[in-house]
Amino acid sequence: MNTLVESLIRVRMSAHDAHYAGELVDGARMTNLFGDVATELLIKYDGDEGLFRAYDSVEFLAPVRVGDYIEAKGRIVKVGNTSRRMEFEAWKVIAPCPENGEAAADFLKEPVLVCKASGTCVTPKEAQRIDHE
């Protein structure tokens, strides 16, 4: 599919994000990041934040822990009259390595895909401020 608009955010998972033993971050945190990416995509495309209608697929593929840096990426892949179909990925790009020191971390040579999803957002016609014709 052609990508119409792309967006990327990078966020460090904090102790506040930990939800389970072993400083494991709740998977819902990834969908929260995807929501932020979707908002940016809609602002870029329509000039309005729009509304997230539904996810049709969410896959949690690898654990995320406190201290990990996550890049959440998204793209609009299809546009309807008011709907915008989007695809998302979350990649772990930095991970702590406490065995090398309290503040040690590694920039991963091979980022790890931790979550992917797809869904649909809607920008009401009257809220669309950017003309694409």
- Domain spans, the chain: 5-127
Predicted confidence at residue 25, as pLDDT, reads 96
Nearest partner of 115 among 40, 78, 79, 61, judged by Cα: 61
pLDDT along the chain (133 residues), means of 10: 82 92 93 97 96 97 97 97 97 94 93 98 95 77
Residue 94: phi and psi, rounded to 5, are -140, 140
Nearest partner of 47 among 132, 105, 133, judged by Cα: 132
Strand partners, 85: 78, 120
Q: What is the pTM of this model?
A: 0.92
CATH code of domain 5-127: 3.10.129.10
